[in-house]
């Protein structure tokens, strides 16, 4: 079960600190804006392997958005984690971003797809078993697909999902404004 080894979190309302304490991650991928003060994250235990991706949550070629180097580094960091998990090592990966919706779910989906040997359909089903309202960052997915030769399989599934729930971003925006999360 993916929920045994993978969680998604956010910086909202102390959630990350609670998730770190409850889940006890061995690895954390922290996807934050490049100008975000890392001291605003809760302290992570010293024995946790943390990979920080300081890129904005943008889809196009905007400055500071996801790029090939950042996604390649993420994949390179994830691969030994997945290999260790497969060998029976206890791995608990926590993926977080500012809101727990886009960058963190994209990174989680990449990890799940690596774990499923490129089976995008099974990986997306796994993602939906962990979080019920993901909106994975399309640029991160496209760059991962290119790097891993996944031939657009993730993008097709995620775009179908996004078309089915096309009103969700407006709901997210209202929630984020109410919570003061436009970081």
13-35: per-residue pLDDT in tens? 899 999 999 999 999 999 999 99
130-151: per-residue pLDDT in tens? 997 898 999 999 999 999 999 9
pTM for the whole thing?
0.91
Check residue 64 and give its pLDDT: 85
Q: Phi and psi at residue 14, in whole multiples of 5°? A: 75, 10
Check residue 183 and give its pLDDT: 43
156-181: per-residue pLDDT in tens? 999 998 888 887 766 666 666 666 65
- Domains annotated on the chain, with CATH: 2-179 (3.90.190.10)
Strand order through the sheet with 27-32: 6-10, 93-97, 27-32, 49-54
């Amino acid at each position: 079960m993916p929920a045994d080894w993978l969680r998604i979190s956010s910086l909202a309302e102390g959630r990350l600190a609670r998730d770190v304490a409850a889940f006890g991650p061995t690895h954390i991928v922290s996807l934050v804006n490049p100008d975000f003060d890392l001291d605003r994250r809760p302290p992570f235990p010293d024995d946790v392997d943390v990979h920080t991706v300081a890129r904005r949550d943008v889809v196009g070629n905007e400055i500071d958005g996801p790029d090939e180097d950042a996604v390649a580094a993420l994949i390179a960091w994830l691969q030994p984690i997945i290999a260790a998990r497969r060998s029976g090592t206890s791995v608990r990966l926590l993926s977080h971003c500012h809101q727990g919706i886009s960058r963190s779910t994209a990174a989680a989906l990449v990890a799940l797809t690596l774990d499923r040997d490129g089976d995008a359909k099974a990986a997306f089903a796994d993602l939906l078993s962990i979080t019920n309202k993901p909106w994975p960052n399309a640029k991160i997915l496209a760059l991962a697909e290119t790097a891993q030769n996944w031939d657009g399989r993730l993008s097709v599934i995620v775009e179908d999902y996004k078309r089915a729930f096309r009103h969700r971003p407006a709901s997210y925006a209202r929630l984020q404004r109410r919570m003061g999360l436009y970081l």
